[in-house]
Each structure stands twice: as structure tokens, then as C-alpha cells.
Amino acid sequence: MVLASGTLVQWASAFLPFTTSTRPLLQNKCGARLSMSALGGQDSEFDAQLRDGNTKKCLDILRRAGTSLEIDNNRATTLITQVGEAALLAVDPEGPGPEKGQLGEDELSFVYSELHRRGILTGYGSVTMDVVPYRNKQDMSPAKLAELTGMDMQALAPGRSDNTWAYAGAALCLAEVAAAQYFNIDPLQVALPATIGVFALDRIVLKGALFESIARIINPTYKAKIIRHEAGHFLLAYLLGLGISGCLLDPWQVRKFVRGQGGTVFADPTFARGLQSGSITKTSIDRFSIVLMAGIAAEAVVYGRAEGGASDEAGLISILSSIQPPFTYEMIRQQARWAAVQAALLLKEHQAAYDVLVAALEKGSSVGECIMAIEGSLRKMPSPTPVEVRRH
């Protein structure tokens, strides 16, 4: 996890920082620009700019027109996706400049807030810190954790990853040995240097895409775990009111963005400003912590234990240790346990929305399509929902 330029928060993958989305993120502009005078009206102008990918102009029209501009689900889906893609460019310092359409966290947050205000994104920000499932942070013993979640503390402790990457390296080495024998070359003089060379080339040039692809071939469940981990970050970030700019899951696409690091990318400008000013609030820390631990919680809920997420846990420790006054070791441990419990309970309460999000990510759906899938599921929840009950 890194705080990127423009205060977008980039979540690294639960397992390795090389995962991204399963479809090209930047869509080509389609169709010729239509004459505004021929189309007439702000609706036609908005559609033309949206179709041409001129996201900044779309936002200008939206601000200028206000409620007189109708936004249906199709327009909202496309707008969310395009704003997210433009925000992703701003995360990568090597990406195209502002003339290519970069947008920051303010524009991203504006779109989500505006669509929420219009009643399109009803789930956005629907969970606030006063309605989380369990508010008593002081009572977070292993016994209490097990009572609340039905899981022991070890289930929410990341770092026990499988041997997929070791197997991938071994498979590559064996292939090199076989090739050396075929060409009548001493494998001891070729295999080891070649493996090291290929690994270095993969890391530096391909940003891990080659080994990531090999790992997914050797262990098909690896990709499934990544998707379910990132779906946890994605869903809870959305429910807690953070705009999503991307969920990067494909190794060959992720290397084009955010310095080759994949995962869920979202904006938390309040948290970032608090860090910069040294006046971060407890509410902001709690929300950040829950989203950060959501991937670990998702794995634990789905698989019975978390294998990935060590980088998430390390990121939380780093952030909490840097806050003034810094959290003590015991405070960090309590915060991490509490956040993991909240995340697990919220994911269980929103199981249907989580499932449709996983299905959408597996299909390679855009961010806008994923958000609309979540919204469709949330609208089907029996009323009152657990969150509504706690609110009243």
C-alpha cells in the first residue's frame, strides 16, 4: 500500500504487487465528435463528450447543469468508469499528462457524491462509524473476536501464503534445465544464471507479469483468492464512502499503471489531508483501518483463514506508527483486531453484494459496472437492513 500522488490510495495485492483488471483500462475513443449545434441541448452535449471520453468536459457540464441534467444508470456507469480511469493516470507519475485527461481525488469524490445525492448510488457511504457492528474497541480479546466472527484469531492473521511462487520458480528452472540438455549445454552453468536473469528482467521490465502468469497457471485458485481479497477492499471502501478508481487484477495490464502495483485503488482525501496536516481524526483512522483489513477479512470469511494481506497489515502498522502521537504496539494490535472484526462482520451482512461483485470482477467488468452490480444487490436486501437497525 502506498499513498500515491493526488492522495489516491493504492492497495497492493494480498499476495504480490502485480495484479490488475482483466480488461484494458483505457478505452479507445469511439465515434467522431458530433456537432453541439446539431445535437442541441445539454443532454446531447453531455452524451457526446461522454462518448468521446472527454471526462473533464462531462464534469463541467454536470456542475453547470445541476439537476436539470438527467443521469440514468447507463450514463452513471460510463461516467464512473471514465473518471476512475482518468484518476488512475494521475496515480502514475510516468503516465500521460493533464492534457490526456488526468483527474484527481476531488473529481472522483465529486462524481460519487453527486450520484449519491441523486439517489443513484444509495450504498455509497451507507456505513458510517456510528453504525459499525461492534463499536467497543477496548474489548477485542481473542475470545471476543471468536465470539463475534465465529473464527479464531489465527484465521485473521495473514502471512501463511502457499508455495505457488516457489513452484513457479522451480517450473521455470526445470524448463531451463531441459532446454540446456536439449541444446547439449551444461545446465549448472546455464539454469541458475538464466533463472536469476529472467527473474530480474521480469521484475524490472515486466514488473512481475511473467512470474505472476506462471503462478496463476500452476495454481488456478491463486487468481480466485486475489479476486476475493480485492473484492473485500472494493466493497467496504464503497460502503464507507470512498470513491473507487480501479481494481487492477491482470498482470499484463497492471504494469501500465501505478508503478506496476495492482489491487484496489480508491481515494480517501480526508485521511490523506489529515496525515499531511498532522490532525487526523479518530473516525478517519477507523474507516481507513477497516478498508485496509477488509481483504484479510474477506479471505478469512471465504476460505476460513487469510493467506494474503501481509502487506496490508504492514501498511497499517506503518501508518499508525507514524501518526502523532504514534500508536503503541498494544494500540496497533487492538486497532488491527477491531478493524478486521468490523470488516468480517460487514462482509457477512453484505454477503449478496460481495458475491455479485466477485462475479463482476471475474468477468472483467469495469468499475462502473461493478458499482451498479453492488447497487442492484443492495436494493434487494430485506428491510430493515442490519445497518438501518443499528442506526435507529
- In angstroms, the CA 140 to CA 96 distance is 46
Q: Give 326's contacts (C-beta < 8 A, 6+ positions apart).
A: 320
Phi and psi (nearest 5°) for 247? -130, 100
Q: What pLDDT sits at residue 46?
A: 93
Q: Is 314 exposed, middle or buried (0-12, 13-18, 19+ CB in 10 A)?
A: middle
Q: What pLDDT sits at residue 318?
A: 92
Q: Within 13 Å and on the Cβ side, how many CA atoms surround 85? A: 23
Work out whether the CA dihedral 264, 249, 351, 342 comes out positive or negative.
negative
In the numeric block, the cell 477497516 is attached to: 290
Q: What pLDDT sits at residue 26?
A: 36
Q: Is 225 exposed, middle or buried (0-12, 13-18, 19+ CB in 10 A)?
A: buried
Residue stretches of the chain with pLDDT short of 70: 1-41, 90-102, 159-177, 180-181, 186-220, 251-261
Q: What pLDDT sits at residue 61?
A: 93
Is 292 in contact with 332 (CB distance < 8 Å)?
A: no
Work out whether the CA dihedral 175, 180, 182, 183 comes out positive or negative.
positive
- In angstroms, the CA 242 to CA 263 distance is 15
- In angstroms, the CA 248 to CA 366 distance is 10
Instruction: Tell me which DSSP letter residue 17 carries.
Output: T
Work out whether the CA dihedral 50, 54, 60, 61 comes out positive or negative.
negative
Q: What pLDDT sits at residue 138?
A: 83
Domain boundaries, the chain: 164-218
- In angstroms, the CA 376 to CA 233 distance is 19
C-alpha grid cell, residue 109: 469524490
Q: What pLDDT sits at residue 262?
A: 74
Q: What pLDDT sits at residue 142?
A: 86
Angstrom CA distances, 235 to 15, 87, 128, 242, stand at: 19, 19, 14, 10
Helices 310-322 and 329-349 cross at an angle (nearest 10°) of 130
- Bridge partners, residue 10, by sequence: 2, 265
Q: What pLDDT sits at residue 191?
A: 59
Q: Are strands 8-10 and 2-3 parallel, antiparallel or unpaired?
A: antiparallel
